[in-house]
Amino acid sequence: MLFLLLFILFYAAVSFGTFQNLKKSISEKYKNRFGLIFGSYTLLLLSTFIFLYIYPNQPRHAHNYTVYFYFNVIFFIDLIVKLFISISYLLYLLFRKKAFARTILISGIIIGSGVGMIMLYGTLWGKRELKVTQVELHFNNLPKNFDNYTIVQFSDLHLGSFLNSTALLKKTERKIKAIHPNLILFTGDLVNNFWEETLGYKDIFKQINVDGFSYAILGNHDYGNYTTWSSEQAKHENFMNIVQAFKELGFHLLRNENVPLVVNEDTIYLAGVENWGHRPFPQLANLNKALGNIPENGFKILMTHDPAHWESSVKGKRNIELTLSGHTHGLQWGIKAAGIPFSLAYLIRKDWGGLYYWNNNYLYVNTGLGTVGIPWRIDMSPELTVFTLKRVEVD
């Protein structure tokens, strides 16, 4: 509650700075009318925020994602735009005796408006622009018959966030069919909270998983921990329905277990664990159990939803040739500096997206197909990753 109060005070201060900036660009004739409109609009947004997030509603009780997602878009675009404009007003106060002082005010309005348009683009179009990432990996212990073996990975669907749209999934289906991979892997977070989010998607997933070589794991959202339940029984029933939904959508769900993948006389092993993340995320993975009957020299692929598990339990501790994760979404907002992708997710974890390497072991973090919290992707497109395994002959 203290955090929410501080946030409201921050928003009020940012709104005041924005008002002071914009007021200087309006003629005296319209200032009173502008003040009334701006104040009413800001009060309406703030009141809606309190109504949805404090009282009488709370996000943990929400089933209507549409209301929350699109309010989040409006509110956070408003906040970020106002932040730039109010900062420029503070700079104006520092340099108001300088000749360029008015330019500072105008610059804040232009920059803030530009950032707002980028955020709007990410909401309307950015979250629908499917990116296919091609990754070629070389191993000297890859069995001969797995040379040129192709794997498609996708992650973090959060089906409730699709708001019943199938457009992105249809793009995904067409891409996968064109690739015709040997194996399809989904690395968790099928839903936001509720099994009902999977309704209406069975036919399209049956097309994606038509060949039957599709495996999946659970993500932190698949346990239903982000809502308030009437009872533990209700939560358990929801979870079991999510587990059943994976099967009905055509996935073989791996829960701390492994399966052999056989091509002719050669075998590699696919292991999948339940979610493991730093607290407060669930820590349910049992790596020993998942790898239990795999030969020591067997070629291994591990699916674990949160890359923190690789960092804490695999890197430098286990010989697992390829680990596939998701979870981060790349914060759904990134930039490319000199062609190098960067996300503020790096401030939280260094393994936020893409390919990582340590002592002959690879980690790939897929930045997801869906969205959570805010339905936008800004230069962090929905991702489908295509791996081609290559055997390196050793003399």
Mean pLDDT value across residues 9-21: 95
What does the chain come to in residues? 395
Which domains, and CATH codes, for the chain? 2-124 (no CATH), 131-391 (3.60.21.10)
pLDDT for 374:
86
pLDDT for 187:
98
- State percent of the chain over pLDDT 90: 82
Give pLDDT tens digits for 186-213. 999 999 999 999 999 999 999 999 999 9
pLDDT for 351:
93
Mean pLDDT value across residues 102-127: 94
How far, in Å, CA of 242 to CA of 257, rounded?
Answer: 18
pLDDT at 337 over 80: no
Q: Which residues pair with 266 in a beta bridge?
A: 263
Give pLDDT tens digits for 29-73. 788 889 999 999 999 999 999 999 988 988 888 888 889 998 999
Q: Which of 54, 89, 48 is nearest to 71 (CA)?
A: 48
Give pLDDT tens digits for 226-236. 999 999 999 99
Specify the range with the lowest mean pLDDT, choosing from 137-141, 177-181, 256-260, 372-376.
372-376
pLDDT for 10:
96
Burial of 165 (0-12, 13-18, 19+ CB in 10 A): exposed
How far, in Å, CA of 395 to CA of 381, rounded?
Answer: 42
Phi, psi of 180 (to 5 degrees): 50, 65
How far, in Å, CA of 358 to CA of 356, rounded?
Answer: 7
pLDDT at 373 over 70: yes
DSSP designation for 254: -
pLDDT for 93:
94
Give pTM, 2 decimals: 0.93
pLDDT at 22 over 70: yes
Question: In the numeric block, which tokens belong to residue 363?
Answer: 């980690």
Mean pLDDT value across residues 149-154: 98
The chain-wide mean pLDDT, for the chain, equals 94
Question: In the numeric block, which tokens belong to residue 277?
Answer: 């993340």
pLDDT for 375:
87
How far, in Å, CA of 326 to CA of 221, rounded?
Answer: 12
pLDDT for 66:
87
Q: Which residues contact 291 (CB under 8 A, 6 or more apart)?
A: 258, 271, 300, 302, 318, 320
Q: Which residues contact 131 (CB under 8 A, 6 or more apart)?
A: 381, 382, 383, 384
pLDDT for 251:
98
pLDDT for 338:
65
What residue ranges in the chain does DSSP mark as E strands? 131-139, 149-154, 183-186, 214-216, 252-253, 257-263, 266-272, 300-303, 322-325, 334-337, 340-343, 354-358, 361-365, 383-391
pLDDT for 319:
94
pLDDT at 344 over 90: no
pLDDT at 395 over 70: no
